[in-house]
């Protein structure tokens, strides 16, 4: 099978006519399975798609989240292969879907997203958790990790969240707002209830207590804790026993104890768990799949968690616990939903929530959450996995543009001179999308037949290359484009490089194919 390359663009494995689309799942974390499950099943149901799960089980720095992931698949009868570079090359996927976006902490060199991309594989990423926090620390995880930078497609849950990608993410044009597969499970709720929980609950109403490990971030030079103090959780735990009409399901983060050790909070965490273990109306849920417990809940207590949005889809009252001293800013995509939850910072707030729940079930609170959800989470229809597959199929099979989309930066005499001398406007190989300039007086004008755009607007424009026409100010301009506007550095070239390499290459191809009628701007393989 040949690889496909449009000059100036990434080279990818080409799907031959009549050939099945090969999709590789780079699997590692069982608890992230809901993030991809409905997409996986959509692939299985499509006769034109072939699926292979590659389980990456070696050389991971992170161990807490990857242990027993193979057993998770085995228990569900899901076939997989242990990942090897040889196996991947033999399979030669068109698309590979990654779970964690943190390449170096989870994968050996042969499984890094950059390596697969260099093998011609299109990288797809679906966030394992809804993008919740709007901090500098969170923005890195949302927009700047290696997997995200290397992705051909990134899928997010709403158009509001997509706007954040457009503003911050260097790979913004890979993003599609089609919903995410974990919303499909929340819609269908076809995950079997946890029988052990139901048996132990014995008819009592269930409160799910989802507990993140103590989460620390750096804001400037200041270290902030964004989750409640464990001492407040310990105070609340001492009162749980008196609510015998309720059954508390405690679900700690898989990394809870490893992180408390690192942060010097292990003793407090230990006391908390010891206190909870003495209560006969408390059950610890440590399974890889969180959904049976989530969908069994009649009420939810949650702190900063990947389940913050899913909790709002369950039709039950939710208490959101945050740090008393520092309130973590949330993305505009999720803030209205989280604001519709009951709010708390300490043990007193947790007790008040439980007391109100016992009295009236907090029905009005649940209705408020449901109304807000409809406004901020649009793709709760059970079809996110199908939409993603359709988008991927269309993207892989679509005929690549024969033209190279160009932005010229520096709308002056030199720019106009070279556009004319190189006959850029007359070539079928090029499409000048626009010019740009730092001079506000030029914005909105038309030069060389194309509009002059403000630099800020370039974030919203999809282009293949940006040519800086100023020799004297090349580096200052490039720094601004890369470090302030987050444009992709590899797409930015000097005028002499463009004139010598890009134009010359396309002219040679035009001449070589003259009269054959088959030149389409593609590298011949």
pLDDT in tens, 93-128: 999 999 999 988 888 889 999 999 999 999 999 999
What stretches of 296-412 adopt beta strand conformation (E)? 299-302, 318-321, 342-344, 404-409
Strand partners, 94: none
What's the confidence (pLDDT) of residue 287?
83
Calculate the CA 384 to chain-centre distance.
Answer: 14
Pairing state between β 465-468 and 404-409: parallel
Which whole-number Å values give the CA distances from 455 to 74, 166, 300, 410, 464, in the listed order? Answer: 52, 14, 46, 10, 16
What's the confidence (pLDDT) of residue 67?
75
What's the confidence (pLDDT) of residue 402?
55
Q: Which regions of the chain are under pLDDT 50? A: 1-8, 401, 511-525
Which whole-number Å values give the CA distances from 478 to 134, 165, 404, 487, 498, in the listed order? Answer: 27, 21, 20, 9, 15
* CA within 13 Å, CB half, 271: 11
Which residues neighbour 152 within 8 Å (Cβ) at sequence distance 6 or greater?
10, 12, 95, 117, 122, 123, 124, 174, 395
What's the confidence (pLDDT) of residue 8?
47
Hunting for tokens 């057993």 — which residue is that? 71
CA-wise closest residue to 394 among 181, 183, 176: 176
What's the confidence (pLDDT) of residue 59?
58
What's the confidence (pLDDT) of residue 474?
95
| In the chain, ranges of CATH 3.40.50.720 domains | 404-512
Burial zone of 150 (CB within 10 Å; 0-12 exposed, 13-18 middle, 19+ buried): buried
Which whole-number Å values give the CA distances from 308 to 131, 212, 311, 370, in the listed order? Answer: 10, 11, 5, 14
| In the chain, ranges of CATH 3.40.50.2000 domains | 3-180+383-397, 191-376
Q: Which CATH number does the domain 404-512 belong to among 2.60.40.10, 3.40.50.1970, 3.90.110.10, 3.40.50.720?
A: 3.40.50.720
Class of domain 191-376: alpha beta
- Predicted structure pTM score: 0.81
Class of domain 3-180+383-397: alpha beta
> Which tokens sit at 465?
């290359």
Rounded CA-CA distance 434/457 in Å is 11
> Which tokens sit at 194?
């946890």
What's the confidence (pLDDT) of residue 262?
66
* CA within 13 Å, CB half, 125: 27
Give per-residue pLDDT as tens, 126-185. 999 889 999 888 898 899 999 999 999 999 999 999 999 988 898 888 999 999 999 998
What's the confidence (pLDDT) of residue 524?
32
Q: What angle do CA 154, 304, 178 make, to 5 degrees?
A: 25
Calculate the CA 20 to chain-centre distance.
Answer: 26
């Amino acid at each position: 099978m040949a690889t496909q390359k449009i000059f100036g663009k990434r080279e990818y494995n080409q799907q031959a006519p009549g050939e099945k689309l090969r999709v590789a799942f780079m699997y590692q974390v069982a608890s992230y399975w809901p993030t991809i499950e409905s997409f996986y099943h959509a692939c299985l149901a499509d006769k034109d798609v072939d699926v292979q799960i590659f389980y990456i089980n070696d050389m991971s720095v992170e161990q807490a989240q990857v242990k027993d992931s193979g057993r998770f698949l085995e228990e569900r009868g899901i076939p997989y292969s242990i990942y090897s570079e040889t196996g991947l090359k033999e399979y030669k996927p068109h698309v590979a879907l990654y779970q964690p976006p943190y390449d170096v902490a989870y994968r050996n060199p042969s499984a890094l997203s950059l390596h697969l991309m260099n093998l011609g594989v299109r990288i797809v990423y679906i966030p394992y958790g809804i993008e919740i926090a709007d901090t500098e620390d969170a923005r890195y995880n949302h927009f700047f990790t290696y997997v995200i930078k290397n992705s051909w497609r990134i899928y997010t849950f709403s158009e509001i969240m997509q706007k954040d990608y457009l503003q911050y993410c260097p790979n913004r044009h890979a993003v599609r707002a089609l919903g995410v597969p974990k919303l499909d499970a929340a819609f269908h709720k076809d995950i079997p209830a946890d029988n052990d929980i139901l048996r132990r609950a014995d008819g009592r109403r269930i409160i799910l207590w989802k507990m993140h490990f103590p989460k620390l971030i750096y804001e400037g030079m200041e270290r902030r804790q964004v989750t409640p103090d464990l001492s407040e959780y310990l105070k609340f735990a001492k009162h749980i026993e008196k609510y015998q009409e309720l059954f508390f399901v405690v679900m700690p983060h898989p990394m809870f104890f490893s992180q408390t050790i690192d942060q010097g909070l292990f003793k407090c965490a230990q006391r908390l768990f010891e206190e909870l273990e003495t209560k006969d109306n408390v059950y610890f849920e440590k399974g890889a799949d969180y959904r049976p417990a989530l969908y069994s809940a009649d009420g939810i207590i949650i702190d900063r968690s990947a389940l913050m949005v899913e909790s709002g889809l369950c039709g039950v009252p939710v208490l959101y616990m945050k740090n008393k001293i520092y309130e973590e800013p949330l993305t505009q995509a999720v803030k209205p939903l989280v604001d519709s939850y009951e709010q708390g910072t300490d043990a007193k707030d947790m007790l008040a929530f439980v007391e109100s729940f016992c009295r009236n079930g907090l029905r009005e609170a649940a209705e408020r959450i449901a109304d807000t959800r409809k406004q901020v989470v649009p793709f709760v229809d059970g079809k996110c996995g199908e939409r993603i597959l359709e988008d991927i199929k269309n993207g892989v099979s679509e005929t690549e543009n024969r033209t190279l989309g160009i932005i010229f930066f520096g709308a002056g005499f030199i720019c106009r001179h070279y556009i004319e001398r190189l006959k850029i406007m007359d070539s079928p190989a090029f499409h000048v999308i626009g010019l740009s300039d730092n001079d506000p007086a030029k914005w909105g004008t038309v030069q060389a037949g194309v509009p002059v755009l403000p630099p800020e607007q370039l974030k919203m424009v999809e282009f293949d290359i940006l040519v800086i026409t100023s020799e004297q100010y090349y580096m200052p301009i490039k720094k601004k484009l890369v470090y302030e506007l987050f444009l992709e550095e590899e797409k930015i070239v000097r005028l002499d490089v463009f004139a010598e390499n890009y134009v010359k290459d396309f002219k040679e191809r035009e001449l070589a194919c003259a009269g054959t009628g088959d030149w389409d701007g593609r590298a011949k393989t």
